[in-house]
Amino acid sequence: MLNASRALKAGAILLLAAGILAFPSLAPNPYILSVGVLVLNYAALSTSWNFVGGFTGYISLGHGALAGLGAYGTGLLVAKGGLPPFLALFAGATLVAALAVPIGFAALRVRGASFVIVSISLVLILLLIFQSWASVTGGSRGLVVPRPFDLSRPEHHRVFYYLFAGLLALALLVWWLIDRSRFGLGLKSIREDEDKAEALGTATYAYKLIVFVVSAFFTALTGGLYALWFGDLDPVFQFSILTGSYLVLMALLGGVRQLFGPVVGAIIVGTALEYFKGAYGDTPLHLVATGLLLALVVLFMPDGVLPAVADLFKRFDRTQSSSIREVTASELRDERLKKAEGAAR
């Protein structure tokens, strides 16, 4: 079936992919290229975050910690374990995924509130551990991860740009596959109404745990790749509560129900962050801006910009209006309330 909005969507995705791939040859200097690497890093992280946030609706503020664990896992395996860099990357991510099982076991037993508390606590406790356990982690002295390739700095950025792009593509592919599977359907039913999903026989706890571990694996993989790219790890920056909040902001802004939502969010927020820091220095004002933006998104655009844009297109495309849509429980509830209010008056 040929219709306008579908063609538009496919076109937009092709354009995005082409833009991402062409960027290194268009970047005017190595600095811009390094910004591109950073943005892709954010895109991969927030897509990994979206496995939990998008499917189950559980909002984790602690994914920064999982990325930090991946970074340190990879770094330690290379620097102290002597493994080849990319073997260490996968070994590190697997270890983090294994660790995510007990974390998820504790965090997912209780609904919502406790999950968020645990996710924040995870960042804080790992910061303490990695700072204090200096004999292993290097503590505040930091950990130096040896360079995997012997390249000049601009070449180093270019290689890692494509590695990050590859990782992002892999994460997107897995997200897309889950989205279309029965497993994905079960997860989404948790997001809409966990009690009903459970009553209908969905193994909600197991589903949540599995997707949390998958998310941890991709997050750790991205973190580990960052460690290989950046080279210097410091607990204060690896286990920062801000990282997690950036990821949430990116995913929410882009739209958690959309495959490309987090990527779009990462491009917007990541570029803006870099631009403001470059233009105005890294003053506390960027905290204010992040806080304001997050509050505005939560209050007025909890579904993200992509759906907002899609709505705009739908207005011009009347043929779509009668087809079956995916509607959230909260939207239905809002609709019903509105109708009830209208009837009362």
How many residues would you count in the chain? 345
- Cβ pair 130, 103 in contact under 8 A: no
**Among 49, 70, 253, 274, interactor with another protein by CB under 8 A:** 274
Provide, rounded to whole angstroms, the least separation between the CB of residue 4 and another protein: 31
The piece of 44-52, 200-208, 226-234, 314-322 that touches another protein (CB under 8 A) is 226-234
Angle in degrees, CA 222, 18, 264, rounded to 5: 55
Q: Which residues pair with 233 in a beta bridge?
A: 143
Residue closer to another protein by CB (options 156, 172) is 156
Q: Please report, as residue ranges, which positions from 149 to 188 form the binding site for another protein (by CB under 8 A).
A: 152-156, 158
Stretches 134-142, 177-185, 216-224, 307-315: which one binds another protein (CB under 8 A)? Answer: 134-142
52-78 CB burial, b ≥16 within 10 A, e <16: bbbbbbbbbbbbbbbbbbbbbbbbbbb
**Is there binding between residue 333 and another protein (CB under 8 A)?**
yes
State which residue, 60 or 91, has the beta carbon closest to another protein.
60
> Scanning residues 62 to 121, which ones bind another protein (CB under 8 A)?
102, 105-107, 109-114, 116-118, 120-121
Q: Does 195 bind another protein (CB under 8 A)?
A: no
Give me the least distance between CB of 323 and another protein, in Å please.
24
From start to end of 125-203, where are the E strands?
A: 143-144
CB of 125 to another protein, least distance (A): 4
Instruction: Kindly state whether residue 228 participates in binding another protein, applying the rule CB under 8 A.
Output: no
The reply to whether 47 sits near another protein by the rule CB under 8 A is no
Torsion over CA: 248, 44, 276, 283 (sign) = positive
Residues 6+ apart with CB under 8 A from 62: 118, 119, 120, 121, 122, 123, 244
**Do residues 116 and 60 make contact, with C-beta atoms less than 8 angstroms apart?**
yes
Q: Which residues contact 123 (CB under 8 A, 6 or more apart)?
A: 61, 62, 64, 65, 68, 239, 240, 241, 244
Applying CB under 8 A, among 15, 128, 200, 309 the residue interacting with another protein is 128
Contact call for residue 26 and another protein (CB under 8 A): yes
Q: Identify the DSSP state of 223.
A: H
Q: Is 277 in the site for another protein (CB under 8 A)?
A: yes
CB of 341 to another protein, least distance (A): 15
Q: How many residues bind another protein (CB under 8 A)?
A: 85
Instruction: By CB under 8 A, tell whether 237 contacts another protein.
Output: yes
Amino acid of residue 201: G
Q: State which residue, 20 or 91, has the beta carbon closest to another protein.
A: 20
Distance CA 167, CA 171 (A): 6
User: Is residue 135 within the footprint of another protein (CB under 8 A)?
Assistant: no
